[in-house]
Amino acid sequence: MTANGCVEGKVMVVTGAGRGIGREIALLAGRQGASVVVNDLGGGADGEGPGSIGPAQEVANEIVAAGGAAVANTDSVADPAGAEAIIRTAVDRFGRIDCVVNNAGILRDRIFHKMSVLDFEQVVKVHLFGSFYVSRAAANHFREQESGAFVHFTSTSGLVGNFGQANYAAAKMGIVGLSKSIALDMARYNVRSNCISPFAWSRLIGTIPTATPEEEARVERLKTMSADKIAPLTVFLCGDGAREVTGQIFAVRKNEIFLMSQSRPIRSVHRDGGWTPESIGEHLLPALRSSFYKLERSGDVFSWDPV
């Protein structure tokens, strides 16, 4: 444990913390002085299969063995009662809750015309509804103590685009809106809310299709980006050193940290007397066409090798 770490004395909940990015966040938070609720259902990457306390307990044991404080939890973020139980675990075990990291997620990638209703609903349920349920369970605690921090995980699959991930992209863009709303609504109580879009190899990323040489090259780049690179910014955003940072979207790519743009007007056209479908075609298209966004994927925008 690091003496006088940036989250010294804080109580943190990290969902999906049994493996991958969540695991690295929980371990670093423990080393930085936080008491950590290590939440993980222990199921498969697609949300199927029996749950297990094993992954969460292993991480909690590792934190404790290093001199930190941690407890394992296997409640589901996709259930409101489970989310309440996650936060209650923090309060019952450590006396309060200071930080929530909404990292838990599943993937069920399908090309859109083959995506089932269940595939869409289950991914949105875990990512978006789960982020809401856990955040809402913590909100009254944050309000009463007039402090708190949320860090939610979004993705460039939503911010930019990707094939076969309509469910995941929709959920991740929803999380951006959720985070901004929390930041606005709870600023009066000194509560902060930010998003991180991570680039890191994990068992979820391992489901990305590699049907073309370009896709294979992208996956090989991802394999060089380890999950531990995401943890420092996450833990920093939970600490008092980030007290002025809220409503932002960051991306982390190996040793690179990006502040991502948010939707704002970029061009406009005006026509006295209003518009008709015909005048839109004659006037608007020529005026705005050069500013239209290309139909790009995350890999097209982040095309260089990670630094």
pLDDT in tens, 94-152: 999 999 999 999 999 999 999 999 999 999 999 999 999 999 999 999 999 999 999 99
Q: How far apart are CA 182 and CA 191, in angstroms?
A: 8
pLDDT given at position 206: 57
Q: Would you say residue 287 lies in a domain?
A: no
pLDDT given at position 216: 74
Contact between 142 and 185 (Cβ < 8 Å): no
pLDDT given at position 44: 67
Which two three-digit tokens encode residue 69?
């404080």
Q: How far apart are CA 202 and CA 216, in angstroms?
A: 15
How many folded domains does the chain comprise? 1
Q: Would you say residue 280 lies in a domain?
A: no
Those residues whose C-beta lies under 8 Å from the C-beta of residue 48, and which sit 6 or more positions away, are none
Q: Would you say residue 286 lies in a domain?
A: no
As a whole number of Å, the CA-based R_g of the chain is 20
Choose from 44-53, 244-253, 289-298 the range with maximum mean pLDDT. Answer: 244-253
The 3-state DSSP class for residue 294 equals coil
Hey, what long-range contacts does 46-55 have (CB within 8 A, 24 or more apart)?
A: 46/106, 46/107, 46/108, 46/207, 47/106, 47/108, 47/122, 47/126, 51/76, 54/18, 55/18, 55/19, 55/23
Q: Would you say residue 1 lies in a domain?
A: no
pLDDT given at position 23: 98
Q: Would you say residue 28 lies in a domain?
A: yes
Return the closest-CA partner of residue 193 out of 136, 129, 155, 144: 136
Range of the domain at 72: 11-262
pLDDT given at position 307: 83
Contact between 96 and 35 (Cβ < 8 Å): no
Q: Is the pTM of this model over 0.85?
A: yes
Q: Would you say residue 294 lies in a domain?
A: no
pLDDT at 31 over 90: yes
Over 220-250, what HEC string results? Answer: HHHHCCCHHHCHHHHHHHHCHHHCCCCCCEE
189 carries an active-site annotation: no
Q: What are phi and psi of 79, to 5 degrees?
A: -125, 125
pLDDT at 169 over 90: yes
Q: What is the CATH number of the domain that holds 151?
A: 3.40.50.720
Q: What is residue 73's DSSP assignment? A: E
Q: How far apart are CA 222 and CA 266, in angstroms?
A: 32
Taking residues 197-219, report their average pLDDT: 71
Those residues whose C-beta lies under 8 Å from the C-beta of residue 103, and which sit 6 or more positions away, are 14, 15, 16, 17, 21, 22, 25, 153
pLDDT given at position 218: 66
Taking residues 167-177, report their average pLDDT: 98
Active-site choice (133, 168, 189, 293): 168
Residue 138 corresponds to which amino acid?
Answer: A
Q: Would you say residue 270 lies in a domain?
A: no
Q: Would you say residue 218 lies in a domain?
A: yes
